[in-house]
Chain A
Amino acid sequence: MPLFHTDDQAMLLDTARPFLAEQAPVAHMRALRDADDRTGFDPALWARFAEMGFCGMLIDEADGGLGLGAVEAGIVLEEIGRNLTPSPFLATAVGAVTALKGGSRDQRARWLPRIAAGEAVAALAIDEGGKHRPNRIALTAARSGNGFTLRGTKRFVAHGHVADLLIVAARTAGGSDEPDGITLFAVDKGAAGLTAAADRLADASLSAQLRFDDVQVDADAVIGELDGGWAGLTRTLDAVRTGAASELLGVGTGAMARTTDYLQQRKQFGVAIGSFQALQHRAAHLYSELEIARAAVLKAQQLLDAGDPAAERAVMVAKAMAGLATTLVVQEGVQMHGGIGMTDDYDIGFFMKRARVLAELFGDSDFHADRLARASGY
């Protein structure tokens, strides 16, 4: 398969790009922030996502979805990134849908139609600390009656305070750092003993801390195998890592476009600053980094969609490379804007803040480079 978009994928891009640019440009995110919105996204926009078929794009056709894959989700996410659109798309339409693919028929029947219709939002309750360490799960699920009692805390859960469905990684066996003994649960919003508090992060997105004070769930809340949740968790994480890489790429591409525009417009010493070779070379370097990141992300998406075992490493590369490239682009972008780049009025700073959050999400570049090294035997 050639490493570029198929005609169908190009058509999807032709739909997604103007849709997001018109419905949710950066001004949309700015307006939500300025209004001190506490939902974290615009429900009306989410309804439009459903109308466009985006919410159910990864759901299998047998379950009433479009049966599309990581490449298509990446197309939408890149546009989300380019416009800095606050959206539960990644957590819900990619993360929860991937997790539920390993769930029971009942779980799928209960949640997937609502997700596809834009009626349910989901969140991934995995991390418990400030650094992504998915094997380090301390939240416990102890057997009680015909179900489980969940106790512990999850942190930095995007959309966790408004989600109808929480995908929770809990420890049912094993030691604190072990991949074995983790179980995935589907937990409803209204569960007794569950409290959520949302705080803003640097990029104005809302991130929830969830407390599970003896939350009771039935046995049928288990997604996949008891104690054997690692496989499903990894599959889910690989999907959202690749998705986050696409979103990062969009953020980087958006910042790059603004920066080259500025280099062409802004005049000093009687000429456009873009005619200074010192800046030209830096801009050309940024372009190159983004291009190789784009190739790495598409490679990971195609391998994921093909079910190729090489996808695992490709995802590490994609997330790490998208993080490196976009981090560089936004930093250089602010620098090349001069003083105006430091102002809240100007959008370029938003790109820097969003890039930082996405780079951290589901493992930063160091985390994935380290995994790559381990997987390569050094």
Chain B
Amino acid sequence: MSELDDFRAETRAWLEGNCPAEMRTPIRSDDDVCWGGRNPTFSSPEQKLWLDRMAERGWTVPDWPRDYGGGGLSPAESKALREEMARLGCRSPLYSFGISMLGPALLKYGTEAQKQDHLPKIARGQIRWCQGYSEPNAGSDLASLATSAEEDGDDFIVNGQKVWTSYADKADWIFCLVRTDKTVKQGGISFLLFDMASPGVSTRPILLISGYSPFCETFFDDVRVPKANLLGERDKGWDVAKYLLGHEREMISAMGLGTGGGPSLGKIAVEAIGAEPDGRLDDPVLRARIALFEVRAAAFRAMSERFLDELKAKRTHPAQPSMMKYVGTELNKQRHELMMAAGGSDALEWESDRSHGGAGARAWLRTKANSIEGGTSEVQLNIIAKRILALPGA
């Protein structure tokens, strides 16, 4: 047996012994997600136990260095861990913008002090982060952002407004794009980290079509931020911002993988609609739509594996996350359209207990944001055309 086989066997045994049964079921609804933070809420004691056990091994962030709270695993080991977790249907112990977005940027651009300060708390789920990029007049054209940061001694004074800030009302810290030079566009942007409890920060939740309020308008009124909280150099924040977006897109693309563990779309449809004597779904047109969808979904799963392998081996094109995000999110929207078709009117329930308060319908609506958040599908296609296909003037 190779070392990797040993690792896999040990990992499997450890997961079997330590992942509580409740954490091997698909996530039911939004309130069932573990986000951590200063004032964490857990939907069950098992959820907390699972986070604690995984964090102790550094397996919330298996491939980060051990010094920063990670597991220090090699690419092959992280892959084995991921595969074993998928095999057992283990949930991710922690969902976090700190892990999927800020962490990689801190590892690349952070000072030693910044890494020591922030990474371990992200790994253990002690600090919850939000992303302050978009503004009312800076969406797809993000670099036109106007929130300003003026120097004042050892500090910056931040003024302005962000919008669509996911979970700003629940987050402890924000990573925020600010303008430090008004005379140039991309070259006048800086990347700041600050505490949401700072005086002058306020948030106002926005209600979504799903009936949930997961994001906010965020206002900054003379917020004082130490200069030491600049990530990367002053006026060079756009590079950090783009690097982070690559990771955000990679994270969002994972939506295309579907929820692990649960029954397949075809099985859900058979359950809801019924089958012919030979087992075929009693709705031939829907069956064909599902089957062709599943072909692309399976191909995307392979792509996702290939992408991660190439990324770890540093052989992926820097714009490839745009392709992943585009395909993954469009697939996830399609999946939920098919789930709605399979469920019929049952899937439309909005309040009942049997529907967990309309979890299916709300999830369907939520997926419509997948191809908007983190840069729209159109923006991803622009990036692929320009940076990968080298088409002119894109």
Please list the residues of chain A having a beta carbon within 8 angstroms of any beta carbon in chain B: 2-4, 260, 263-264, 271-272, 274-275, 277, 279-281, 283-285, 287-288, 291-296, 298-299, 313-314, 316-318, 320-321, 324, 365-366, 368-370, 372-374, 376-378
Contacts and interface: CB of A to CB of B under 8 A. Distances in A.
Contacts of B270: 377-378
Given A2-B310, A324-B295, A377-B264, 5 more contacts: A280-B386, A281-B382, A299-B305, A378-B270, A378-B290
Contacts of B285: none
Interface centre among B79, B302, B313, B384 (most CB of A within 10 A): B302
B74 to A, nearest CB: 11
Given A283-B385, A378-B275, A378-B281, A274 B290 contact: no
23 contacts: A3-B302, A264-B390, A277-B394, A280-B385, A280-B391, A284-B323, A284-B384, A284-B385, A285-B381, A288-B384, A292-B299, A295-B306, A296-B299, A296-B303, A299-B302, A320-B295, A324-B292, A365-B295, A366-B288, A372-B291, A373-B280, A377-B270, A378-B270
A271 B393 contact: yes
Contacts of A296: 298-299, 302-303
Contacts of A295: 299-300, 302-307
Given A288-B384, A365-B292, A373-B280, A317 B392 contact: no
Contacts of A369: 288, 291-292, 294-295
A2 B298 CA distance: 17
A317 B298 contact: yes
Contacts of A3: 302, 305-306, 309
B113 to A, nearest CB: 35
A317 to B, nearest CB: 4
Contact of A373 (B291, B306, B392): B291
Interface in B258-307: 264, 266-267, 269-270, 275, 279-281, 287-288, 290-292, 294-296, 298-300, 302-307
B388 interface: yes
Interface centre among A275, A317, A378 (most CB of B within 10 A): A378
Given A263-B391, A287-B323, A2 B309 contact: yes
B338 to A, nearest CB: 12
Nearest to B279: A377
A377 B306 contact: no
A299 B298 CA distance: 10
Contact of B310 (A4, A274, A368): A4
Given A288-B326, A291-B303, A281 B378 contact: yes
Contacts of B382: 277, 280-281, 284
A264 to B, nearest CB: 7
Contacts of B389: 260, 263, 280, 283-284, 287
B354 interface: no
Given A373-B266, A378-B275, A271 B392 contact: yes
A132 B392 CA distance: 43
A195 B376 CA distance: 60
Interface centre among A295, A314, A368 (most CB of B within 10 A): A295
Nearest to A282: B381
Interface centre among A279, A280, A318 (most CB of B within 10 A): A280
Given A275-B393, A275-B394, A376-B294, A293 B381 contact: no
Contacts of A370: 288, 291
Given A281-B378, A365-B292, A369-B294, A292 B327 contact: yes
B28 interface: no
A298 B306 CA distance: 9
B323 A288 contact: yes
B280 A292 contact: no
Contact of B266 (A293, A317, A378): A378
